[in-house]
Structure formats: C-alpha cells, structure tokens
Structure 1
Amino acid sequence: MSARESFPRLLLAEWTKLRSVRRWVITLLGAAVLTIGLSYLAASGSRTNINEHAEFVGGPHGDPVADAFYFVHQQVTGDTTLTVRVASLTTEPFRRDVSMGSDRMTRLEDRSPFAQPAAGIMIKDGTRPGSSYASVMLTATQGVHLQWDFDADGRGSASSGARWLRLVRSGATITGYESADGAGWQKIGTATPKNLPSTVEIGFYVSSPATVYTSRGGGNSSVGEQPTSARAAFDNVRLGSGGTWRGEAIGGEDRLGEKGGVRGGGQVTEADGAYTVVGTGKVGPRPPDDDMVEIALVGVVAGLMALIAIGVLYATSEYRRGMIRTTFAATPRRGRVLAAKAIVLGTTSFLVGLAGAVGAFVLAIPVLRTHGFTPPGFPRPSLLDGPVLRALLLTAAFMAGVAVVGLAMGLLLRHSAAAITITVVLVLGPLIIGMILPGSSPRWLMYTTLAGGMATQRAKPPTITLAEPWALIGPWAGAGAVAAWVAVTLGLAWWQLRRRDA
C-alpha cells in the first residue's frame, strides 16, 4: 500500500475514532449550541441610543458622519467655477496627554485625510449637516485633497505651502484643480456627489477636527475630545456670479460616537478682498467603534471551552486505553498519525465553529436591531458583506486552531486535566490581563497569545477606544497569532512522539 493510498485511509480511521465516541459528538454539537446561546444572551443585554441624540448626523448614504465647519458661501444655480488662493493655514499645537477628571488620557492618532485641519473650497446641497458636498482643500499635513460625500477621497500634490484651488461644476460632475502660481493648473480628479441639485451653496471654508483623547484599562474605556481651531487666509476669490459672501458655522455639536463633544463655530473677517477665516469641527465619516458583528459572536468563548476539551481528549484517550500502540503499529510513521489527527479535528472543529458563528450571527443581529443598533449609526450587516464573511470564516478558523492546540497539548502532557487547564488559561488568561492593563500595552499580548484570535470576530478596524483588548489588533493579526501557536505546539508534539515510547 503506497503512502498516497494509506494517508486517506488514515484520515478515515481518525474520523471514525472521533465520531464513534458518542459524548464527543454531543460535545461538538454542544460547542455550536453554546456559541449561539451565549451570543443570543449577550445581544439581549446590549443596548445603544446613539441614533436618539438630536445632534446625530447621517450622511447622504445613510452612514453616520461629522459635518461641522465654518463656511463662507453664497447660492448659485447651474454650472459654475470657483477659484481661490489659500495663502496660509495655521493650526493649534496639540498636547500629547491631558487629564479629564481622574483619568490621564492619551491622544488618539488619526492619520485619515478626513481627520486633518483643512482650508479649501466646497460646493454643497444647502447648509444642512449631512447633505451631499464636494470639496478641494489644502490640509495641514497631507497636502491637497478632493473629497466628497464624507467617504470618498482623491489625493493631489503633497504641497504644504500656499496653494491655488479651483472647483468646477459641470452638470452632476465636480472637478478639482490645484496650482502653485494660478497659471498652470493640475487636475486632481472628479467627484460625483449623490444628491447635488441645480441650486447649491458654494464657497470657501475652514475645518479643524477635535483632538480625541482616550483611556482604557481596568475593564473600562473612556473617550474625550478637546476642540481645536484652524486659521486660514484666502485671497484672489473668483466666482462668476458675483454675489455676496456670508459666513456661517455649519453643524451644531460635533462628537465621537456616544462620548464627548465639541461645539462647532468660527468667524470671518474681510479686508481689501482678502478673507481670514477661523473654523472648527470635522467633515468626514464618524462611525461608532462598537461592532455589531463582534457583539453577535461573543459566545465563541463558550464554544471554545468545549472544543478544547474535545481536542485534548482526542489525544489523551488513546493513551489512557492503550490504543495508541495499535495505532502506531498500523502506522509506524508517527508524524503521519499526528497530521491525520490534526486535519480531522481541525476540519471538524472549523465546520462546528462556522455553524455556531453563522447561527449566532443570524439570531443575534435581529435582537441587536431591536435594542438600538439600527441605521444610520449601525447599518444592517449581511452575511454576504465582505467584512462579515471574513469575520465568520476567521472566527471558525480561530476555533479550529485552538482545538488543534488542545490536541497538541494532550499529546505533549498525556494528562487530560492538565492539558485542558493549560489550554484554557492560554486563551482566557491574556484576555483577563489585557482587560486590566492600561492603554495600548495589551497589544503585544494579543499579537503573541491565543487570546489574539478573538480579534477575528471584528468586522471593523482596530481601535484603542474599547475596553476589550483584542480590539487593539486586526483580525488577520489575530489569526496569525493562532496559526503560530498551532505550528509551534504541533511541532513540539511531533518531536515528543518521535522521542518517547507510546
């Protein structure tokens, strides 16, 4: 019998061992049930009132946005062209740390082009916060950008000095240009805002997002904001309609998620056709950091405990009953036996984990929607959404990886209770420690332990604003940490199998 023929038979033999023990099959089914049940209970206890805040702003696509700035504008109808020169842009210095109440808080770095102080020109569907717009702006640190509808961004030059800007409307298309001298123009790109009627507001503006400070640790997290302002000088303002410019603070209260706030405002002064504008506030996306998918999958922790037990017992039971000698007599190459066990257990655990994750998502999401997790703050997630599908598949892979680590621990220790305890501690210990440690210090703990695999449940990007430590890293980093543990523990188990008697 060749090696290629024997390995499928070895897989079949290992699968027969796994499914023939009734209590193991029941425990595998229980892992899925525990995942679904705990997720449902967690969803039942989770609530938010983010959409009930009067100052909450929804954008043209229904997503939560920030739309606060100082706008010097006038009304125009039809196609138009606005040209200005941003002669200067100055911003407030920021502080790295601040004290808010009893908390020492650290500045949250946000390198998004939507989070930069900016001075530029804008065309907008009226002055209602959240309405469609397109703008060309000079940012404080990231050069020139063309942005529209709070989520689309086109990069221009990296210039940080004085810059000429031009915005041209032709029907539904907005084109942005920039120039160093007002003579030679470079096209930045084109924008197609969702809702831009014939009559719009057009003008120049200044924005300066609040500085966000955060503190986490001890099982809690807090977020606060300090308002900032920027000052810009505009000259060579050219608009064909020749109307009267008027200044207005757009937006009322600008805030992050459900915490903190900064009052929008500013002013404009004019002298000999040159304008000095002071503004505050942010124009850009502002989704809450809370993740519906993560909340819906929190029951994975319970399912993991059952899979760890199965993984360990799948290894130790043969030693306890003396069946391992028969297995090695039939297949002397012990590495092949280990590979077959890992493949059978990993595949089975992945399917069980996927069933539990999908079931938890399907049951928990409707419950969350009845508890305030609704648009615009929380768009409805779908099983076919890329981030959701990724979270479900990686979560199942995480559960399978932990089960295989349990298998390796069982082979290394040959003692069920010890192997189960150690594997459980490897998952839960870093989670508990990470909840207690302050700031971003638990990040490396998540990068290097099985607990990092909890990050696979998140559909949103990493953040430091939440209490759970796994939110500090991305899902692929968490999956990588688990994969490393699988490789190392299986390698050690293979080494032990080769050097020790059965």
Structure 2
Amino acid sequence: MTSTVTRHRPSPKAGRYGFLQVLHAEWTKFRTALGWVIGMMVAALMVVLFAVLAGVSSNQKGSSPVPIGPGGGPVTDSFYFVHQPLAGNGSISVSVSALKSSIPKGPGDLRPGIVPWAKAGLIIKQSTRQGSPYAAIMATGSHGVRMQDNYVNDTAGLPDPVSTASVRWLRLDRSGDTITGHASADGTHWTKVGTTRVSGLGPTAQVGLFVASPAAVGGGGTAGSVSTATFGDLRIQGGLAGSTWTGGQVGAESPSFAGYPESTSGSFTESNGRFTVTGAGDMAPAVRDSLPTGAHLREILTGTFAALIAVIVVGALFITAEYRNKMIHLTLAASPRRSRVLVAKAIVLWAVTFVAGSVGAICATPLGERLARRNGVYIFPVSSLTELRVALGTAALLATASVLALSVGAIFRHSAGAVTTVIVAIVLPYILIAIPFIPAGVSKGLATVTPVAAFAVQQTLVPYDHVASNYTPYYGYYPLAPWAGFAVLAGYALVSLAVATVLLNRRDA
C-alpha cells in the first residue's frame, strides 16, 4: 500500500493572525518600556510648552491695529493720496509720464533704484480709513499698467514702464458699485483693463491720485523705499463734492508700513496742471515679513523641532535596544518572517507617535494663539479645517520621522549612529532654513529635496504674485504644497524601511 503525505499549508486567515500576533507583541514591548512611553509624552509636552512660550514671549501690546480688508484678511494700506470727494457716478483720467524710485543703501545714502511694484495712478476709495474697499488703476515700476481692487485682485494691462517717451494715460469710471479701468498709450485710443464690483463705496467716495512704494526686497531683508510720479492732463467728469485737492499719507501708523527712508517724506505739488506726488507704502495683502506684529501657526508650533528630536531617539531605540540587549534573537525566532517584525514595529511606532503628536498639536494650537492674542500679536487667520490639517499634519510629520529613525536604526544596529544620521538629515536642514539671511535658493532647495520639506504641512500663508516679499521657509512659505512636502519625508522613510528589511533578511541577527 502506498501512503500519501499531505503537507499542511497555513490558511490565509492563519497568516494574517500570525502578523497580528507579531503586531501585538511589538505593541506590548513598546507600552511596557517606560522610557519609550515617557519619550512620547515628552514629545507631546514639548509641542505644548513651546506654544505657551511663543504666546507669552512676544509682547505687542500698544501696537497699532492691523488693517483688515473687505475679505477679512490682514492688509497693507499705506500710500500718499491726493484726493477729493466724488458724489455719485463719475470718471477721472490722468497721464503718468514718470515714476522714479529711490532705495537706501545705508544710513543717509539714498540711491535711484527699481522697485518693481512701485505704483502711481488713480484710485476710487470708500474713505481714507485703512482697509476700506477701493479700485485703482496704475503704472508700476516693472509690471506695466495694472488694475487692482480690494488688495487681493490684480489684472494686467499695457506692458512696459512709463517714461517721457512712453507716457501712459489711465482712466477710472464709476457707475454705482461698478468700477471700470482703461489705459491708453496716446490718450485717445483706450483699452479696457478690467471691470470690478466694489461693494460699500457709498454715495460719496474719495477719488484722486496716489503713489505707493513698497519696501525693496533683497538679501533676505527689506528696506523702505520712496517713489515720485509726475501726472498731467487730469480730467474729472461727475460731481466733485470738494473744491481743492487734499494730500496726505494714508496708514502712517500702520504696523505694516515700512516708513519713509531717512530725510524723505510724502508730498505733492501742482503747477500748471501738472502734479508731482511722492509717496511710500503699498496697497496689498499683508505678508509675513511686512507685518512684524503678526504670527502664524508654524510659529506657534515651534515645539515640533524639540518633539522631533524626542521621537527620533525613541524610534531608533525601538530597534537598536533589541540588538544591544540581544533580544533580537528571541524576536526573530518567534517570527521567522523577519520582514514582519520590522513592519509591525513601524506600524506600532507610527501609530503611537501620531497619537502623541496629535494630542500635543491640537492642544498647543488654540492655547498658543490665545496667549499670543492677549499680548497683542496678530495671528494670520485660517479656517478650522486648515487648523486641523496643520495639527494632524504635524503629527504625521513626527510619526513618519520616527519610522525613518527606526529604519536607520535597523540598518546601523546602533542607536548613536542612527540618531546622529537622522538628526543630520532632518534637524540640520531645519536649523539652516531657520536662518533669515541664508540665500533664498539654498533655503528653498533644502525645503524641497531633504526630509525637512515635510514641515510644509504647517504652511498656512499664501504668496501673492503682485506682492514682492521674502517668500522663504523662514517666513513660513515653503516651495512645496503641504502634501508634496510630506511625501518627500514619506519617501525617505519608505526607502529606508525597504533597505532595512532587505538587510534584516540577509544579515545574521
């Protein structure tokens, strides 16, 4: 008689249960190791503690209030305004034959320069109150003719800067709340630039000439500039409620106004129908480096840096401690499929770190914001959904960094080497982008290709094409979108985990 021996094959269900056993074993190891649990608690507390310190350390009490635009966001609303009240509908036109800017190169050293977004033109504005609605058409330093309204909207018109050989004629027409802007190269043939609806102008609005000169950007910093424009051929149709032109600086005390360079000031003169107007400031959304009394969520969550070090150490020790104590032999004997062990460790570590990070960030954000506001700091507004995205993104950043440390620990089998490597890969680039005067290209490069790109999950500020500024990670502007920045760190972690898995299967324990 011939007997047949049937080899037993574990069912898929049994295989899955085997992995669950490994997962439970790794969770048991983690929760029974007091040092690792304390490490995660410290990470969460660091996020909260630094948020408290950020809230109480910046005292802006007594500062001028930040202007708020029609859309509810902070704005810069400072410029020199030569105006009269216009009752009801009407039209105003003017020619701009010169726009020259000066930039300080040192104390008392004012030199001619180019301020790309220097502005000279016509404006219809509800009032001289900062943040009030408006529409304007203007010639700019380097961006041709533009029509802008309510600080955030910008429409391009005729190209090329103005000069005596390239005069630009500008016109604004009001019909109720509708403002239409036109531009011309000869004062006869007009091209429509744009039409916008400006709610809240009221029956009588302020209309006239303006000059604005934003701070010049360079070398990682800014310097207040001043610009002078020459106007002619001023014509008005409609009911002027005044009889004389009044000139003055709007927003002279605004915290977002960089001020005039030394020995300069705003002014206007009129002679034979020609106006010469000198002004400084800008009409635009406020950005971080133009608002010294402001802060954003990333600055509240500076404790992420300290928490990052804590989770890196715990992540590395979660695997290297077993090599040091020779426990790795028992672990691998209990689970012959070695890759399961590393995957189970990664899942447990990621989940625990994510929970700790979420608790820390969710508690830290409202607490830090409340304390900062009490001290007069203006917090750039975000929606509740964005705030939650930042908190959970911060937790995911910490969790993924801990898995990266785990993977490197499995590769090196030594905690000191693993911790040092991951800190150099993440913390060192973070320190470098935190230096305000590091070249923008270097800063953006580090925030694009290194794991520190994941800090983009904390980004809440929006760059504007019509506002020149230092859009660098130092000020909270990352080159990658939040999800893309996180994907960079996740890529490093997954590749490291794959390498660690291959080495774990090939090497002796």
Q: Shared fold by TM > 0.5?
A: yes
Q: 2:299 aligns with which of 284, 295, 302?
A: 295
Q: Quick one: which amino acid aligns to residue 37 of structure 1?
A: L
Distance 1:55 1:292, change over 3 A: closer
- Check 1:40–1:127 CA distance in 2 against 1; reply closer, same or farther (3 A cut): closer
Two-structure CA RMSD over aligned residues (Å):
3.9
Is 1:48 equivalent to 2:60 in the alignment? yes
Structure 1 window deviating more from structure 2 (193-202 vs 148-157): it is 148-157
1:408 CA displacement: 0.9
Counterpart in the other structure of 2:46: 34
> 1:104 aligns to what?
none
SS in structure 1 at match of 2:209 = strand
Question: Which residue is 2:508 aligned to?
Answer: 501
DSSP-derived class of the 1:253 partner = coil
Structure 2 residue 280 is the aligned partner of structure 1 residue 280: yes
Query: 1:165-212 deviations in whole A, cap 9, x for unaligned?
Result: 332222222232334455554443333334311011212333222324
**Counterpart mapping for 1:345-424 below 5 A:** 345-373=349-377, 377-379=378-380, 381=382, 383-384=384-385, 386=386, 388-424=387-423
Pairwise CA distance, 1:19: 4.1
Bigger shift: 359-368 or 179-188? 179-188
Length-normalised TM-score, structure 1? 0.79
- Per-residue displacement from partner, 1:271-327 (whole Å, max 9, x unpaired)? 3x5544444332223344453312321222332233223312322344445554565
Partner of 2:137: 136
1:73 corresponds in structure 2 to 83
Q: What does 1:477-496 align with in structure 2 at a 5 Å threshold?
A: 478-496=485-503
- CA deviation vs aligned residue, 1:318-339 (integer Å, no higher than 9, x gap): 4445554565566655445434
The Cα of 1:425 is off from its aligned counterpart by 4.7
Q: 1:458 to 1:233 in 2, by over 3 A?
A: same
In structure 2, the residue matched to 1:240 is 238
Listed one character per residue, the Cα deviations across residues 343-402 of structure 1 (whole Å, up to 9, x for unaligned) are 4422332232122111111222211121112xxx43555533x3x344223322211121
Structure 1 residues 319 and 440, CA gap change in structure 2 (3 angstroms): same
CA distance in 2, matches of 1:186, 1:268: 29
CA contact (8 A) 2:297 2:365 kept: yes
- 1:191 maps to which residue? 196
Specify the alignment match of 2:26 in structure 1.
17
Equivalent in the alignment of 2:7? none
Tell me the distance in 1 between the aligned counterparts of 2:58 and 2:368: 10
Distance in 2 (CA, whole Å) between partners of 1:420 and 1:471 is: 27
Indicate the residue corresponding to 2:123 in structure 1: 122
Give the 3-state SS of the residue equivalent to 1:268 in structure 2.
strand
Letter in 2 for 1:202: V
Q: Could you say which residue in structure 1 is the equivalent of 2:345?
A: 341
Distance in 2 of aligned mates of 1:178 and 1:456:
42
The structural deviation recorded for 1:135 is 0.9
Structure 2 partner of 1:165: 170
Aligned to 1:229: 227
3-state secondary structure, aligned to 1:357: helix
Aligned to 2:210, which of 205, 210, 226?
205
Q: 1:212 to 1:144 in 2, by over 3 A?
A: same
Residue identity in the other structure for 1:206: V
More deviation, 445-454/414-423:
445-454
Of residues 7-16 and 127-136 in structure 1, the stretch that sits farther from structure 2 once superposed is 7-16
1:158–1:69: structure 2 CA closer, same or farther, 3 Å change rule? same
Alpha-carbon spacing, 1:391–1:230, altered in 2? closer, same or farther (3 Å): farther
Cα distance in structure 2, aligned partners of 1:332 and 1:151: 61
Deviation at 1:163, TM superposition (A): 3.6
Q: Distance in 1 between matches of 2:343 and 2:299?
A: 34
- The answer (yes or no) to whether the contact 2:22–2:340 under 8 Å persists in 1 is no
Q: Distance in 2 between the 1:396 and 1:183 partners?
A: 61
Q: Which residue of 1 aligns with 2:439?
A: 440
Q: Which has the larger radius of gyration?
A: 2
1:236 and 1:245 mapped to 2: Cα distance? 13
Partner residue, 1:220: none
Aligned mates of 1:58, 1:264 — CA distance in 2: 25
**Residues 278 and 434 from structure 1, CA distance in 2 versus in 1: closer, same or farther, beyond 3 angstroms?**
closer
What TM-score do the two structures reach when normalised by structure 2? 0.78
Aligned to 1:267: 268
Structure 1 window deviating more from structure 2 (333-342 vs 350-359): it is 333-342
* Alignment CA distance shift 1:229-1:313 (3 Å): same
Deviations 1:221-259 (A, max 9, x none): xx5523321323332624233774515133263776487
Residues in 1 aligned to 2:127 and 2:485: alpha-carbon distance in whole angstroms: 45
Structure 1 residues 163 and 369 mapped into 2: Cα distance closer, same or farther (>3 Å)?
same
Cα distance in 2 between the residues matched to 1:137 and 1:146: 6
Which range moved further: 388-397 or 12-21? 12-21
User: Deviation at 1:119?
Assistant: 2.2
For 1:306-345, what aligned pairs fall within 5 Å after superposition?
306-320=310-324, 324-325=328-329, 328=332, 334-335=338-339, 337-345=341-349
Residue 411 (structure 1) shift: 0.2
Secondary structure of 1:166 counterpart: strand
- Residue among 97, 104, 108 paired with 1:88: 97
Structure 1 range deviating more: 201-210 or 481-490: 481-490
Q: How many pairs are equivalent?
A: 475
C-alpha separation in 1, matches of 2:391 and 2:360: 9
Where does the alignment leave 5 or more consecutive residues of structure 1 unmatched? Answer: 102-107, 216-222
Contact 2:43/2:307 (<8 A) preserved: yes
Which deviates more, 476-485 or 141-150? Answer: 476-485
- Are residues 177 and 344 of structure 1, via their aligned partners in 2, closer, same or farther at CA, if it must alter by over 3 Å? farther
Instruction: Indicate conservation of the 8 Å contact 1:46/1:368, yes or no.
Output: yes
> Aligned equivalents of 1:174 and 1:159: distance in 2?
24
**Distance in 1 of aligned mates of 2:410 and 2:53:** 35
